[in-house]
Amino acid sequence: MKATAKNAKTVVGAIDPDVLAFTVGQDPVLDLRLAEWDCYGTAAHVTMLSRMKVTPKLFSQEERDAVLRELAKIRDAARAGKFKITEEDQDCHLAIERTLTERLGDLGKRVHTGRSRNDQSATAIRLFVRDQLFGTIEELLDLAKALVAFAKRHRKLPMVGRTHLQPAMPSSVGTWADAWAEELLGTGPFLAAACDRADLCPLGSAASYGVPLPIDRILTSKLLGFHGAVGNVLAAGNSRGKVEAETCAALAQVMVTLSRLAQDLILFSMPEFGYFSLPKEFCTGSSIMPQKYNPDVCELVRSKAAQVCGLSATANAILVGMPGGYNRDLQDTKKIVMEALDTTRASLRILARLVGGLKAHPDRLRAAFADPGVFATDRALELVAGGMPFRDAYHQVRDHLEDLRGMDPDEAVAKKTHFGAPGALSPVLAAHDALIRVLRADNRAVRARIARALRRLLPETR
Amino acid sequence: MKATAKNAKTVVGAIDPDVLAFTVGQDPVLDLRLAEWDCYGTAAHVTMLSRMKVTPKLFSQEERDAVLRELAKIRDAARAGKFKITEEDQDCHLAIERTLTERLGDLGKRVHTGRSRNDQSATAIRLFVRDQLFGTIEELLDLAKALVAFAKRHRKLPMVGRTHLQPAMPSSVGTWADAWAEELLGTGPFLAAACDRADLCPLGSAASYGVPLPIDRILTSKLLGFHGAVGNVLAAGNSRGKVEAETCAALAQVMVTLSRLAQDLILFSMPEFGYFSLPKEFCTGSSIMPQKYNPDVCELVRSKAAQVCGLSATANAILVGMPGGYNRDLQDTKKIVMEALDTTRASLRILARLVGGLKAHPDRLRAAFADPGVFATDRALELVAGGMPFRDAYHQVRDHLEDLRGMDPDEAVAKKTHFGAPGALSPVLAAHDALIRVLRADNRAVRARIARALRRLLPETR
Amino acid sequence: MKATAKNAKTVVGAIDPDVLAFTVGQDPVLDLRLAEWDCYGTAAHVTMLSRMKVTPKLFSQEERDAVLRELAKIRDAARAGKFKITEEDQDCHLAIERTLTERLGDLGKRVHTGRSRNDQSATAIRLFVRDQLFGTIEELLDLAKALVAFAKRHRKLPMVGRTHLQPAMPSSVGTWADAWAEELLGTGPFLAAACDRADLCPLGSAASYGVPLPIDRILTSKLLGFHGAVGNVLAAGNSRGKVEAETCAALAQVMVTLSRLAQDLILFSMPEFGYFSLPKEFCTGSSIMPQKYNPDVCELVRSKAAQVCGLSATANAILVGMPGGYNRDLQDTKKIVMEALDTTRASLRILARLVGGLKAHPDRLRAAFADPGVFATDRALELVAGGMPFRDAYHQVRDHLEDLRGMDPDEAVAKKTHFGAPGALSPVLAAHDALIRVLRADNRAVRARIARALRRLLPETR
Amino acid sequence: MKATAKNAKTVVGAIDPDVLAFTVGQDPVLDLRLAEWDCYGTAAHVTMLSRMKVTPKLFSQEERDAVLRELAKIRDAARAGKFKITEEDQDCHLAIERTLTERLGDLGKRVHTGRSRNDQSATAIRLFVRDQLFGTIEELLDLAKALVAFAKRHRKLPMVGRTHLQPAMPSSVGTWADAWAEELLGTGPFLAAACDRADLCPLGSAASYGVPLPIDRILTSKLLGFHGAVGNVLAAGNSRGKVEAETCAALAQVMVTLSRLAQDLILFSMPEFGYFSLPKEFCTGSSIMPQKYNPDVCELVRSKAAQVCGLSATANAILVGMPGGYNRDLQDTKKIVMEALDTTRASLRILARLVGGLKAHPDRLRAAFADPGVFATDRALELVAGGMPFRDAYHQVRDHLEDLRGMDPDEAVAKKTHFGAPGALSPVLAAHDALIRVLRADNRAVRARIARALRRLLPETR
């Protein structure tokens, strides 16, 4: 058992204030977000202890009820931002234990029987991360939906397709917007993998080596709505940090995609292109240049992506070469995963609204087809399909490029009708819409199941 | 269509040799590994063209057969290390096209009808990455199996459990070894997510904007054994690099775990511990200090982990802020994913063999229990379970720590019998064994299905 | 000129509250630390404007004095933690401008004539970073001094030298401690390079393109104690972010060294070694295992190193591929450099104190020489030096290893007397001491010169 | 002393071939570049041993001359690409020792007396890195010079200055190009700091713990043209990897700047801007779109920057938490620093040539000033300077923006004449030119001094 700062004075000597500040770090602030989850973890642990077949009982039914009543109050205070964690508490776990002890005397201390701060904290973090990942998925689907909706509104609107940023071939606004939706949806399995890792219960692993008590880890796991328990107790201990690292890795993949969408928005809303305009309320302007709209939100998304990737790299770096069992380094992965989650979710939310208000400018989009070269490759392929030898087709097109001037971009888009091509986007859009609906229904079903379990464990007050 | 170096001289002017060297980079070497896969991709494309409903046919059945015969020869040459890619070729795609043209004349050039180097290259990379990931999973399962086998051999052998690297509580060698197996198996969903992304066919997206021909992307996808096709053609283009980044992210999670296992092996095989000894043939020695065995393999695994994490970060950094559509930056993600795959697989293989030859030293492991403190926490919990108030139990144990001296570590381990605890590891070991079997069967079934599809497309020569 | 949130309502339309929250981020908190420095930057700008040769004067002497009086008050409030920045202010620059305007009316608004938030902010950041780097250097010297002092106290105390963590050769505690001091001092030139970059004045570059006014950038540079001005105005703009990235890169090199020192301390204070014991007040203990001392501070330093390296990588990643001129992404490099500075400085300070209280245990250190192999290599070299053929010497030592048992480690250390060797450490220690003194004197002289300039510009109140 | 693979068979048992492949890695290829430098290091060591005051002499003058003759031959073979390193050799050090022994018998083996592969290899790496950094500096100056020359050619040519990529204010092509030169020159102190670290001699530290022989480390340091010797022998050992990490950190700062220059070139050479055109031989074209020029070189520089930053992060990550003394992980930092150096130098060289051939298009650059808003801020400042109240000036400009239409951009540039502004760039350009000259002269002087020392040590053959 880890000594609290207070205990420390009598038991192992006072902790130096500078040392306390260095080691505790930002935990008293960060842990305000974990406190709610620790209440659930503690409620499950105490409930399990109260059902443990030992004589005398470690917790009577009444004692268990008393503890849960106080935990519900603490949870509500934490949600309302009214729960306090002092630096001497170090973290939410000791703050909750202290509060219980203040209110319930020795009964409060006994909640810690048969567990350690290691599994307690690992449990709260997994509950928190799991909840956040569900929220992330919901918001990712919102953005995907906004992109698909934008794609539908401008499904056939021509847009110059580029390679190397140079104009290359006819494409459409619908193709452009939907492509980012598809890439975003493609990161789903990574978020799901992170969720799977988080959704296993480490409670009862104690300090990674179990306890000589007949605790029931399967029961606590069920009470908390986990889809299973970590098996090996040391695996539970070692996975502290790993949950965070894998979550950050998945979030980084989301942010990479957002940054590329943001970059396209920055470029194509420059006055030299004018394809899109961002909603005015998402830009900063100039008090003197009324027509100037700076795409600050998109620029910041680009930088946020670099940051979440950096957090992912940092989480990995903390773990590389770390020996097994709990090491204090792991405390720092909490802040990292919180920052990665907050940043990713804020970026998803703001972009969903931004895309919702995005405007396309058909005149500018069509005007960009003035250079006939953009039609050349498609034209050559048509000649080939009509039976002209490959080499001849290319020469003919290249030598008569001017004949392509004035070609209709709408027609050019309409001609590409194979699966997934700009001229036949509807089935793809429908498939993406359907996928969003299915994923959302799944996500909500799982969340509802978990919410029910948690309400059963520690009812909502009203 | 991108001009080859050779074409360039007549068409868009010669490429400067320095520029060629800078832009081509290591592709002529790296692409030797892709050539085999490009043969399959090209075979699928030509087969699809030969079935395309246009008059006249783009490829007659005979022409298609002629091309496939040559592709089979090139594939075999590539496998045998006898296929050559020159710097002027730039990459395997142009080298294969050149070879086909040398052998089949204009027919060879026509294989490129209706596709671009972009989708061609994306297809070869996905086929390669998918194949490599299946191999990675197989090797990961081998290492997990070796760890579980070692855990079984020493299931009850006591080992001091540590937190902060300090002795903390009784545990077992079985718990230690199996914990790394469980963590490793836990990275499976990430590898599967990377595999899912890779296992979608981008062929037919051309330069990301499709073609004005009735190509059948679903057909090529099936011919190549993909589980589906990328939908939106621009999503196919944009996902170049993303496949690589997600693969590296998953591999980094594997390597993080390997590095921690390696670190434990380095520490616990130091003479001051002597818990384990590494197989002698895995160590370098000293010509003058016969008893010195340096754990070079483990040290290098630690450093390889840092490198794969670095490659993952680099792949992400290349993508962050990159505008949509093909950009030449993406060429460099190929080298990155190859290095990450090679490094991870080599590390998995060498550690599987190392763990297979690992020896545990029961005398040294038991001798480490000399300090009675390691029994204190468990003892106090037993008193609590026996009815003694929490606080009293702790005081009593602390004040009579010497009474614990000489306690039997085997008994201490045996007393912790709840789910996943050191004294009841058998069911967890059995579950891990079963999981390994299931995952291996799945992996092999998918590989077999794909192998069948590829054999049907381009039969093996004998 | 960037519109303030307040202006925005009338001028370019209201900024959406979500957008404001997303774009402003943590600036209202972070900027509390910049406010003091912005007061100096503004004071220099106004002083320069008041001396500008235009008719009528932009600022009369009285107006300038009035502004400076208020700036001194704001500076003092900021130092005392009493200055407020609202989210509507966005940052300290607008908060200071608002405050001046509230107190001085239109005169307050006029301070912004001829500059932009870009150069204003760049100036405050450079002043802040420069000041912090001086503090970092001071603290780095403190830790180096503590290490050299510890090395002196245990200059000749034998300690097994290791390679691959395996015992290899006789060395000394003095050699061990001083080696980390030397590596730390070796990062000095990197900190100095970062300082050189920060110590150039960007003021007057406006939004990176200068102003059509005869401003005197050399004067403001001198008033602020900079060693020069950035030349090209766009270079001033582009270097926003670069100052931060280079500072983080230098700090990362410091932290890498600290993490390795921390790792050695963790390992060699494990009970299996017992070479060192960390001061008790720097450890957390266990309420039940009185002899357990967890090296939390060292573990956290290891993790902080990974974090500062991650921040350095992130700062670089934000910049890679960013187009020239100000981009909003750059706002985020401020938080990054602040976190890197805080983390590095806290780590330096806590380790200096920890090393100051470190205890060496001669008995355990000498007992580690029980294995005769550790003397083998040195012994063979002595035989070679005595004339025995190389090969014979090695065979003889290896075949009679037991003869080395019981050799005196103190003697073995004493025999290695060439430059820098364990037996002749005194001159190296003296050189390190001298270097610390010189660097400290230099650092203090520069700081004093700058402090004088700043006091002249905006006198201290009493 | 580390056993060679060959020795190993008799002494400590055969190394497993898989293990050998895993541990040796790419060293036989990478070390071809170190072989030349190891010849110098070995020559210095043997020369020093021949002067060592022991009886009998370890090396007679004749023996020393014989060894040096063979070393000169090996060096020449290495330079000519004719020196061979087998996997059994493992690295260049053992290959050279083997070659000497083949040619000189036991005398060849004796060159290793009093040193270890650790200090031998550290010496070769530092000599290599130092040489490469001098080359890097030279090439950085070439690029800076090309940028300044381009800036001079287009010193007054107007170019829209941007913030947030949006048009903001009048600037000039000269300002744009010179700004990148100044930022590049600003990375000089970092390269110098890396050079300072590399330019200290680790030879004689042996396996980090010195030797019981009167070796003269100051002498070897002078013979090799180092500006000093590492002091503490363990610091010499610990700095393996640190030299590489600091070099990579400095190179990353160079690459960050190159990537931003590359990004600007990509953007401003897009047809929508047309400000610049890249030399045709630096682009890839399209066989069918004659007017399409893809900026492949610039795109790859962007990606190379991400890679060098990744290598820097990886080098740091390998070191973080690594215990003191040699660890095998350090072998991998060699490949990392080589790749970072090669990539940076290739990027510098190709960009210097590209900038040398860059064309500016005055018509397109001036046409970009069509929107009057770009003149607004400067105009308002002029009114302020003329005495109009700040607020009034802004209102007046904003309300009569159309009056600014048709303003002459050349005049607008000419009006900004303060230090560093677009209208007064000449002194800044002259200062940059002068700085380039001074830095080049310094770099060449140091290189010449070192070259003389090395020629004295091991004369050039002719």
pLDDT at C366: 98
Question: Does residue C9 have a pLDDT over 70?
Answer: no
Phi, psi of B194 (to 5 degrees): -65, -40
Strand, helix or coil at A35? helix
Q: Which residues contact C65 (CB under 8 A, 6 or more apart)?
A: none
Strand, helix or coil at A61? helix
Tell me the per-residue pLDDT of D61-74, one tens digit each, with 9 for 90 and over: 999 999 999 999 99
Confidence of residue B165 (pLDDT cuts 50, 70, 90): very high
List the subunits that have 3+ CB pairs under 8 angstroms with B. A, C, D
Catalytic residue among B121, B259, B286, B395: B286
Exposure string for C80-103, b = 16+ CB within 10 A, e = fewer? eeebebeebbbbbbbbbbbbbbee
Tell me the per-residue pLDDT of A144-169, one tens digit each, with 9 for 90 and over: 999 999 999 999 999 999 999 999 99
Size of interface A-C (CB pairs under 8 A): 162
Instruction: Choose the closest CB to C299 out of A16, A303, A329.
Output: A329
Pairwise CA distance, residues D448 & A222, whole Å: 75
Question: Does residue C14 have a pLDDT over 70?
Answer: no
Picking from A414, A454, A442, the residue whose alpha carbon sits closest to that of residue A174 is A414
Chain A residue with CA closest to C2: the answer is A286
Question: Does residue D1 have a pLDDT over 60?
Answer: no
Catalytic residue among D60, D286, D303, D426: D286
Phi, psi of B421 (to 5 degrees): -85, 160
Smallest CA–CA distance, residue D462 to chain C, in Å, is 34
The token duo for D95 is: 């290959």
Tell me the per-residue pLDDT of C30-41, one tens digit each, with 9 for 90 and over: 999 999 999 999
Chain C residue with CA closest to A263: the answer is C322
Residue appearing with tokens 């907050």: A342
Smallest CA–CA distance, residue C303 to chain A, in Å, is 5
Smallest CA–CA distance, residue C30 to chain B, in Å, is 26
User: Could A288 and D165 be called an inter-chain contact, meaning their C-beta atoms sit closer than 8 Å?
Assistant: no
Confidence of residue A386 (pLDDT cuts 50, 70, 90): confident
pLDDT at B458: 97
**Most A CBs within 10 Å, among D159, D162, D164, to test the A interface:** D164
To the nearest 10°, report the CA torsion of A156, A162, A163, A164: -160
| Residue pair D382/D407 in contact by the 8 Å Cβ criterion | no
pLDDT at A262: 98
Catalytic residue among A50, A60, A154, A164: A164
Instruction: Choose the closest CB to A193 out of B106, B189, B216.
Output: B189
Across residues D231-235, what is the average pLDDT?
98
pTM exceeds cut of 0.90: yes
Tell me the per-residue pLDDT of D30-44, one tens digit each, with 9 for 90 and over: 999 999 999 999 999
User: Could B290 and C373 be called an inter-chain contact, meaning their C-beta atoms sit closer than 8 Å?
Assistant: yes
User: Could B349 and D18 be called an inter-chain contact, meaning their C-beta atoms sit closer than 8 Å?
Assistant: yes
- A120's enclosing H/E stretch is helix A117-153
Supply the residues of C annotated as catalytic. 164, 286
User: Could C270 and B165 be called an inter-chain contact, meaning their C-beta atoms sit closer than 8 Å?
Assistant: yes
Query: What is the helix, strand, coil percentage profile of chain C, to 5?
Result: 65, 5, 25
Chain B residue with CA closest to C163: the answer is B294
Whether the CB of B410 is below 8 Å from some CB of chain A: the reply is no
User: Could A164 and D287 be called an inter-chain contact, meaning their C-beta atoms sit closer than 8 Å?
Assistant: no
Strand, helix or coil at C208? coil
Pairwise CA distance, residues B141 & B138, whole Å: 5
| Residue pair D10/C391 in contact by the 8 Å Cβ criterion | no
Chain D residue with CA closest to C265: the answer is D323
Question: Does residue B334 have a pLDDT over 60?
Answer: yes
Pairwise CA distance, residues C15 & C18, whole Å: 8
Question: Does residue D427 have a pLDDT over 90?
Answer: yes
SS (H, E, C) chain D: CECCHHHHHHHCCCCCHHHHHHHHCCHHHHCHHHHHHHHHHHHHHHHHHHHCCCCCCCCCHHHHHHHHHHHHHHHHHHHCCCCCCCCCCCCHHHHHHHHHHHHHCHHHHHCCCCCCHHHHHHHHHHHHHHHHHHHHHHHHHHHHHHHHHHHHHCCCCEEEEEECCEEEEEEEHHHHHHHHHHHHHCCHHHHHHHHHHHCEECCCCCCCCCCCCCCCHHHHHHHCCCCEECCCHHHHHHCCCHHHHHHHHHHHHHHHHHHHHHHHHHHHCCCCCCCEECCHHHCECECCCCCCCECHHHHHHHHHHHHHHHHHHHHHHHHCCCCCCCCHHHHHHHHHHHHHHHHHHHHHHHHHHHHHCCEECHHHHHHCCCCHHHHHHHHHHHHHHCCCCHHHHHHHHHHCHHHHCCCCHHHHHHCCCCCCCHHHCHHHHHHHHHHHHHHHHHHHHHHHHHHHHHHHHCCCCC
The token duo for B161 is: 């459990």
Size of interface B-D (CB pairs under 8 A): 163
Question: Does residue D10 have a pLDDT over 70?
Answer: no
Tell me the per-residue pLDDT of C313-368, one tens digit each, with 9 for 90 and over: 999 999 999 999 999 999 999 999 999 999 999 999 999 999 999 999 999 999 99
Instruction: Choose the closest CB to C16 out of A282, A314, A318.
Output: A282
Smallest CA–CA distance, residue C405 to chain B, in Å, is 13
Q: Which residues contact A211 (CB under 8 A, 6 or more apart)?
A: A114, A115, A204, B378, B381, B416, B418, B421
A233 interaction partners in chain B (CB closer than 8 Å): 175, 179, 420-422
Picking from C89, C110, C98, the residue whose alpha carbon sits closest to that of residue C31 is C89
- From the centroid of its chain, how far is CA A156? 32
Residue appearing with tokens 């830095």: D439
pLDDT at A17: 87
List the subunits that have 3+ CB pairs under 8 angstroms with D. A, B, C
The ipTM estimated for the assembled molecules is 0.95
Whether the CB of C306 is below 8 Å from some CB of chain B: the reply is no
Across residues B276-291, what is the average pLDDT?
84
**Most D CBs within 10 Å, among A160, A165, A263, A294, to test the D interface:** A165
Share of chain C above pLDDT 90, in %: 87
Catalytic residue among A286, A303, A395, A400: A286
Pairwise CA distance, residues C379 & C401, whole Å: 10
Smallest CA–CA distance, residue C30 to chain D, in Å, is 22
B400 is catalytic: no
Tell me the per-residue pLDDT of A233-253, one tens digit each, with 9 for 90 and over: 999 999 999 999 999 999 999
Whether the CB of B322 is below 8 Å from some CB of chain C: the reply is yes
Question: Does residue C210 have a pLDDT over 60?
Answer: yes
Chain A residue with CA closest to C348: the answer is A22
- Tell me, what DSSP letter sits at residue C263? H
Across residues A273-284, what is the average pLDDT?
93
Whether the CB of C29 is below 8 Å from some CB of chain A: the reply is no
pLDDT at A14: 63
Share of chain A above pLDDT 70, in %: 97
Picking from C22, D39, B6, the residue whose alpha carbon sits closest to that of residue A351 is C22
The token duo for C53 is: 């040769």
Q: Which residues of chain A from 167 to 186 reach within 8 Å of chain B, CB to CB?
A: 168-171, 175-176, 178-180, 182-183, 186
The average confidence (pLDDT) of chain B is 94
Chain B residue with CA closest to A182: the answer is B235
D22 interaction partners in chain B (CB closer than 8 Å): 297, 300, 346, 350
User: Could B209 and A325 be called an inter-chain contact, meaning their C-beta atoms sit closer than 8 Å?
Assistant: no
